[in-house]
Amino acid sequence: MSRILSAIVILIVTGAMLFASPRNANAARAKKLPAHCDRACLTDVMNDYIAALLSHDPSRVPLAPNVEFVENTQVLHPGEGLWKIADGPPTAFKIYVPDPVSEQVGFMCEMRADNKPIQAGFRLKIRHGEIVAAEHLWADSTPAQMKNLQTPRPAFLEKVPPSERNTRADMLKIAPTYYTAVTSADSNNAPFADDCVRHENGMQNTSRPLPPNPTPRDVLNSYGCGAQLKTHVMDYITRIEPRRVMIADPEYGLVMGFSQFRHPMDQKTEKIVGVPGITSQTLSFKPFDNVAVHIFKVSGGKIHEIEALGHSQMPYNCPTGWENFPDHGR
């Protein structure tokens, strides 16, 4: 009789284990978060998230049961997308943007996926000790791009002197002016510092030193952030929407925002102003969207550095993936 009872108990316990909710099992493995996540907590959460991503195991982080997850504009479920193919940890190129006020943390890095180098941007949103929203944006990196993605530029790792710091509210107003300056071709619409440098997918596209025997294009890329816009080289970018700028770190002067650059490509040529040797450029692209994430270095009320990552192979006017999640998409 005792043997029969023991067998019944084993069957019950085994059945409970087999049919237990994966969510409950996952919760037991994930690190418990405090009721409110401060700077250190947010950075730790991001590091844990990347580690879980590399292990292909979403149960290692405290994801909310209904976590909202968007990768390269696609609504996915944990375990899909980079969760399947991430296979190399971040290199020394890592930029964190923790924001305890919004309980969000941004992260940009160079890592590997599907056995290839990629540049990636991440956003996590925490509520009541759980990750309620996760956003991934990534694109393949070429060897040329990787040259500038070895380590972050020093400014992104340096604290802003207290006398030069802006409030979080002001930073969230300053950073989006970049998009207005681009679409208006008017650098006066953004407070660019004289030393402003912009990198896009690892490539330095402003303030680049002139090589020997420079070409007109070399001259164009030698202009600063503001001066280059005055040449009208970006006039083909007519719309940048939505502009989701929601993470700011006054201590380090960093602001992170996601956006979509809409390119109708109605014009096939574009007039260039003020660049010796270039009067126009041919535009042979079909309409497309460039889904982007930017990290801005802001101090003294000015934009000093811009680190951008864009995925430019998206259909024109494509959705963001956050249309059904308006609360957590910002």
Going residue by residue through the chain, which has 330 residues, state the pLDDT in tens, using 9 for 90 and above. 444 444 443 444 444 443 333 444 444 467 889 999 999 999 999 999 999 999 999 999 999 999 999 999 999 999 999 999 999 999 999 999 999 999 999 999 999 999 999 999 999 999 999 999 999 999 999 999 999 999 999 999 999 999 999 999 999 999 999 999 999 999 999 999 999 999 999 999 999 999 999 998 999 999 999 999 999 999 999 899 999 999 999 999 999 999 999 999 988 899 999 999 999 989 888 999 999 999 999 999 999 999 999 998 899 999 999 998 877 767
Note whether 47 and 115 are within 8 A (CB).
no
Of the options 1.10.10.10, 3.90.1150.10, 3.10.450.50, 3.40.50.880, the CATH number for the domain spanning 30-314: 3.10.450.50
What per-residue confidence (pLDDT) applies to 29? 64
> Cis peptide leading into 34, omega within 30 of 0?
no
Pull the structure tokens for residue 6: 């023991």
Long-range Cβ contacts of 186-189 (<8 Å, 24+ apart): 186/229, 186/230, 187/225, 187/226, 187/227, 187/229, 187/230
Amino acid at 269: T
Pull the structure tokens for residue 107: 């992260």
Cα separation values, 294 from 25, 38, 269, Å: 37, 23, 27
CA distance 11 to 70: 40
Amino acid at 48: D
What per-residue confidence (pLDDT) applies to 326? 78
What per-residue confidence (pLDDT) applies to 31? 80
What residues have CB less than 8 Å from 225, skipping those under 6 apart? 187, 192, 196, 197, 198, 206, 207, 303, 306
Amino acid at 279: T
Spatial CA neighbour of 208 closest among 220, 194, 200? 220
**Which H or E run contains 35?**
none
CA distance 44 to 33: 10
Note whether 246 and 125 are within 8 A (CB).
no
Domain locations in the chain as residue ranges: 30-314
